[in-house]
Amino acid sequence: MRKYLELKNKSGMSFIEIIVVIIILMILILTSYLVVPAQLMKARDASRKADLLKIRTALEEYYDSQGHFPDKLTECDQPFILGETTLINSLPCDPITHQPYYYETKKGEDTSYYRLYTLLENDHDISIDFAKCRGGCGLDCNYNYGISSTNVSLLRCSYVCAPGGGKEGSCELYHNPDISLCPKYYYQDSTCNNECSMPEYKCANASGKNIPY
C-alpha cells in the first residue's frame, strides 16, 4: 500500500487512472479506425457524383453546338475541347482507380444519346436506389450509379418476372426492365421471391431482356 501511494505521489496518477486513460485512447483509436475510412469513402463517392454532373454539363454544351454527343471522351486529366472552347480543363476520372468513367453513346439518324456510369463504394448510398441500379447498371451490370441524356434511361440490370414462362412463371435477368414495364424488381434475387406465377408481377413484354441499340 505504501509503494502504491508513493507511485501515485510521484506520477500524479493512480494505476487505475492510467488504465482508464489507456482504455479511452484505445476507444478513440478504434473509433477513428472505423469512422475515418467510412467518411473518406463517402467523400470519394460525393466526388464521383460531382464528376458525372460536371461531365454532363460539358456534354450538353457540346450537344448544343454540334447536335450530337462526342463519340468518346478525352483521356483522364486532359482538357475536353470543342473547337477553340475548353469545356473542361481537366477531365475528371475515378479518384481510386484513376480510370475514366464509363461513357456509352451511339449516333444515328434520329437519335443521339449518352450514358455515363460509375461504381460507388458505399453500398448504402441512397443514390443507388434513386438510379435504380441496386442490381447493377450498364452493359455488364458492373456499375451501381449513373446519369444519362434525357432521351434514354440507364441500362438497369435486375431479375424480373418475364411475361412468358408457363404456369410457374420465369425469373430472368433483364438489362433494361424499365422498357418492359416490369412492376417489380428483384435485383440480385434469381428466384424473384417465387412470385412469377402471379400475373400481377409479370413484365408487360420482353423487350428489356435484350440490350437496346
pLDDT tens per residue, range 161-172: 998 766 667 899
User: Exposed, middle or buried: residue 160 (CB in 10 Å: 0-12, 13-18, 19+)?
Assistant: buried
Q: 102 and 181 share a domain?
A: no
The torsion angles phi and psi of 130, rounded to 5 degrees, stand at -60, -35
What grid cell was written down for 44?
Answer: 470519394
Identify the DSSP state of 105. Answer: E
Q: 175 and 91 share a domain?
A: no
Q: 101 and 179 share a domain?
A: no
The arithmetic mean of pLDDT across residues 130-152, rounded, is 91
Which pLDDT band holds residue 4 (cuts at 50, 70, 90)? very low
Query: Of 21 and 206, which is predicted with more confidence?
Result: 206
The arithmetic mean of pLDDT across residues 195-202, rounded, is 90
Q: How many domains does the chain divide into?
A: 2
- The answer to the question of residue 76 being in a domain is yes
141 in Cβ contact with 102 (< 8 Å) = no
- The answer to the question of residue 153 being in a domain is no
Q: What is the SS3 assignment for 21? A: helix
Q: 53 and 105 share a domain?
A: yes
Rounded to whole angstroms, how far apart are CA atoms 170 and 195? 9
Q: 36 and 129 share a domain?
A: yes
158 in Cβ contact with 175 (< 8 Å) = no
Q: 101 and 184 share a domain?
A: no
Domain that holds residue 178: 158-209
Query: Of 117 and 34, which is predicted with more confidence?
Result: 117
Residue 213 pLDDT > 60, yes or no?
A: no
Residue 5 pLDDT > 90, yes or no?
A: no
pLDDT at 108: 66
